[in-house]
Copies of this chain bind each other. A is one copy, B any other.
Amino acid sequence: MHLVPADRADRRTIDGHRVCDAIAAIGEPDHVRTWADRFSLLADANRLALLLALYRTGPLAVSDLAIATGMNDPAVSQALRLLRAAGVVEGEKEGRVVRYRVVDEDVRGLLRQCGVNAAG
């Protein structure tokens, strides 16, 4: 079990093998970072409100999202741009109205968990 990188193999450990277990438990750094980034997208109350509205209500227009959340239009637009760049939401243009919806299944799973204790 030589999972400890060489640059810190000389450090003293408390529980020896449990360190290796922990390294295995953490897994690929890229995987961890991907999930951290995902959580980061939900870590803002405004963005989370937008996502909850989209997830539970279905496709919504930008203006309506702004009214529902109390945000300004540009703020909503910028938040949606971030979420769109991350592949979390997608917008469908219908005339001059763009309706967004949540397309990332991992994020949908997380949003579902927000309601297990109290969702009304």
Contact = CB atoms under 8 A, between A and B. Distances in A.
Contact of A52 (B32, B53, B109, B110): B32
Contact of A14 (B42, B55, B64, B70): B64
Interface residues of A, number: 61
B53 A26 contact: yes
Main secondary structure of the interface of A (DSSP, over half): helix
A67 interface: yes
Interface string A75-119: 000000000000000000000010000000010011001101111
A103 B95 CA distance: 50
Nearest to A33: B45
Contact of A31 (B31, B35, B70, B118): B118
